[in-house]
Structure 1
Amino acid sequence: MSKSLQTTLIIPGILLFVLFFAMFPAVLTAGSEGVLQIHLGNGLASIRHYLGGLLSGESFQFIAGSTERSFWDQIGACFTVSFGYTAVGGVAGLTAGMLLGVYLAVSRRARWMKRFLELTGILPDFVIVLLLQFLVVYIASETGMVVFKVASASTDDPAVALPLISTILIPANYMIRNVALQMNNAFTEDYIGFAKARGLAKPYIVFFHALPNVLPFVKADLHKFMAILFGNLFIFEYLYNLNGVTLMVFSNAFAYGSYQYSLVVNGLLALLALYAVVYALLRAVVYGWEKVIVR
């Protein structure tokens, strides 16, 4: 199969995957005795109803609380919130991860950082968020000074700093360890020994010999980095009360005991669009690193 044909089939394949993935809550239901039952007809009916309501606009209406809302009226603000935190967190986490990964690989005084990474690496993401919130509350109770907002009180007064710290810290942890590992492997190669024998300065060897050979591994691991970033998105938006895409979808997926299939499909498609935009942004950051340090 040619590459152009594969690219052409990607979008229909993604749409079919979303349509079938979103129907599982409608297909799998609990019976009267708590036994899981499968009703495939419910899922297929949901798909038909969604496709049939595209032209009329019915597929873009959903219930939030007791009010019917338009998906298009809500998604702009929610997408902006999710994009802002993931884009800033992703770029800062990637950049900090690369720089600190280099530092961890070349410095013998970075043992404290290695211990910190080992500690935070075993903690679940929601535990890290709760610990950060507890730390802010503890500082406020002891000193009377509120360093950061622990959650958003409203859309007009959102928490900014603490959610950004969380979105940076967790994916950066992965990138630091990955870059440090690949840098240590690069230092064992013959070309590094040859560069040292030529008397080249250590910073030059690190940034213009070793790091360029680490960047392909960073580029290959971007999807893993993105998976960590997006896997934590709902946790961040829920615990910090951020009005993003995931909070809008999961808070309203079940209204009055019924499953809103159309809202989930539209929300998943919005998240896929968000993933594509943030991934392109991170690829541009890696491309910029390549233009600066690759000779």
Structure 2
Amino acid sequence: MAKTLRDLLVLPGIVAFILVLAMMPLVIQTAGPDGGSLALVWKHGVDELKGYVEGFVTGESFRFFSGRNEFSFWEQIGGYFRISFAYIAGGAVVGTTLGILTGIAFAYSRSEWWKRAVEMTGVLPDFVLIILLQFAIVQIAKETGTVLFKVANFSTDEPPAIVLPLVSMIVIPALYMTRNVALQLRLALTEDYIGNAKAKGLSKPYITFFHALPNVFPYIKADLHKFMSILVGNLFIVEYFYNMRGITKLLFADAYMGYYGYQYDLVVNGLATLLVLYGALFALLRLYIFGWEKVFAR
């Protein structure tokens, strides 16, 4: 009963969190004669919330301004969602695949230098990695005169950058998955059933993929929300630095819109869309890992 009640309260709790979170730029105000302290002024946030609820019925809550033009949120959000989902799904699937395969190699490897290299790369912040990738492409272009990949989207009329954003979405989650799989696989290889499989004369690849690896998948699934939080956090950085027209870029670019001020309605709708993106990504990853489990099930 308690679990059922908790499950029923999850969605309303998330909606309430989004509504309150979107208020924060309005609620947190400077105070004091020199503006050096902060105060919480809930009236501004509550007024915006009331306006959002009223506009939700009339449809006004789904209008927003970009520049001096007014747009329908429903007409625009599909394109933003497709871009964000394409990159985050590609990063998730490829990152998971590379992470599992590299984690298996790490579990057996006795070499330390490349493990240290991966660990060092893993501690680099997302934005540092992106800057290094862009810098490398610029330097190669200066030295050779050949531009290997676009480093960012400079205009909506130009073809978008594809390779570097996708690489940036893959690397960080792949490194995290590599460490996780390597750790759990090393532990699995010390179990008694592995010793029994070796005593039967089974090959190392068969033992790895059909005995040890299936017992790693439950740990991957248990850690899935943490893995996805890395992906979503990475998406904010990637879309901002590469100037991609995704959901987070919409929030960055149009949340504050000059004359029109803070667009509370847009922020609420954008955060809700990110929630839908998260749910779609979770379903995709669970299905993908389920496919791995079916392939290597004994």
Q: Into which bin does the TM-score normalised by the smaller protein fall?
A: over 0.9
Alpha-carbon distance in structure 2 between the residues aligned to 1:113 and 1:73: 48
- The corresponding residue for 1:8 is 8
AA of the residue aligned to 1:202: K
Q: Distance in 1 between matches of 2:150 and 2:125?
A: 22
Counterpart check, 1:240 vs 2:242: yes
Specify the SS of the correspondent of 2:136.
Answer: helix
Distance 2:239 2:27 in 1: 28
Distance 1:213 1:7 in 2: 28
The corresponding residue for 2:274 is 271
Q: Which segment drifts farther, 184-193 or 130-139?
A: 184-193
Distance in 1 of aligned mates of 2:64 and 2:6: 34
Which consecutive unaligned segments of at least 5 residues does structure 2 have? none
* Total equivalences in the alignment: 294
3-state DSSP of counterpart to 2:216:
helix
Q: How does 1:63-74 map to 2 (within 5 A)?
A: 63-74=65-76
Matches within 5 A, 1:141-180: 141-156=142-157, 157-180=159-182
Equivalent of residue 286 in structure 2, options 283, 288, 291? 283
Partner of 1:256: 258
d(CA) in 2 for partners of 1:155 and 1:95?
32
Q: Match for 1:53: what amino acid?
A: G
Aligned to 1:21: 21
Give 1:179 deviation, angstroms. 0.3
Which string of whole-angstrom CA distances, capped at 9 and with x for unpartnered residues, describes residues 206-243 of structure 1? 01111011000001111111000001111100110100
Shift of 1:145: 1.0
Tell me how far 1:262 sits from its aligned partner: 0.6
The answer for unaligned runs of 5 or more in structure 1 is none
Q: Distance in 2 between matches of 1:5 and 1:292?
A: 36
- Structure 1, residues 242-292: CA drift from partner, whole Å, max 9, x if none? 000001012111122622111110000000000000110011010001101
Q: Give the distance between the partners of 1:269 and 1:53, measured in 2 at CA.
A: 16
CA deviations 1:102-137 (Å, max 9, x no partner) are 11112335x343122111112111000000000011
SS in 2 for 1:176: helix
Which whole-Å CA distance do the structure 2 matches of 1:168 and 1:233 have between them? Answer: 11
Shift of 1:150: 0.3
Give the SS at the match of 1:274: helix
**Counterpart residue type for residue 116 of structure 1:** A
* Shift of residue 2, structure 1, vs aligned partner: 5.1
Instruction: Name 1:136's counterpart in structure 2.
Output: 137
Range that drifts further, 3-12 or 18-27:
3-12
The residue aligned with 1:106 is 108
Report if the CA contact (8 A) 1:104-1:113 is conserved.
no
In structure 2, give the amino acid aligned to 1:242.
M
The answer on whether the counterparts of 1:27 and 1:38 sit within 8 Å (CA) in structure 2 is yes
Indicate whether 1:294 and 2:297 are aligned: yes
Question: Using the alignment, how far apart are the partners of 1:36 and 1:253 within structure 2?
Answer: 21
**CA positional deviation for 1:88:** 0.6
The aligned amino acid for 2:278 is Y
Of stretches 16-25 and 157-166 in structure 1, the one that deviates more from structure 2 is: 16-25
Letter in 1 for 2:133: L
Contact 1:92/1:168 (8 A) holds in 2:
yes
In the alignment, the residues of structure 2 paired with residue 142 and residue 261 of structure 1 have an alpha-carbon distance, to the nearest angstrom, of 47
How much identity, in percent, do the aligned residues show? 56
Alignment partner, residue 212 of structure 1: 214
Letter in structure 2 aligned against 1:231 = G
